[in-house]
Amino acid sequence: MTPHGETASPVVLYVCADRARGATGGATERAQEEGRAFARERGLTIAEVVTDTFGEPDPAQRRGWRRVRQLAKTGDVTAVLVRWPSAIAPESARELRHREAAWLQDQGVHVRYTWAPLSSKGCEAG
């Protein structure tokens, strides 16, 4: 058990931040650092870091998000760490975000937000 009462479990860190392919910028680095700190503080093991370029509203159309789904479907992870809801789908497509969170929930996988204002409230999607 961790100090927060959670058991160590494999998670995937999903980062969808930078707008240009191959240009790892500050947003991606911040999201990765934040995700790693979130996992470390809670005793979670990051099994894989998956990245996508920001811009495509439908997560199912992104190669990285399809990898997240694959990890969830095979039972390799118990949670998806993501900085904030718009990394999954933008506000203009929030129904897609809810669709993906519900699908993950059906697989027994939770979405956990790593951005401090959301994580400090214990927010989970779904």
Domains of the chain, start order: 10-125 (3.40.50.1390)
Report which of 30, 13, 11, 34 is spatially closest to residue 116, judged by C-alpha positions.
Answer: 34
Dist. CA 68–CA 12, nearest whole Å: 7
Q: For residue 101, what are the contacts with CB-CB under 8 A and spacing of at least 6? A: 88, 111, 125, 126
Q: Give the count of alpha carbons within 13 A of 95, CB side only.
A: 0
pLDDT digits (tens, 9 = 90+) for 39-97: 999 999 999 999 998 889 999 999 999 999 999 999 999 999 999 999 999 999 999 99
pTM of the model: 0.84
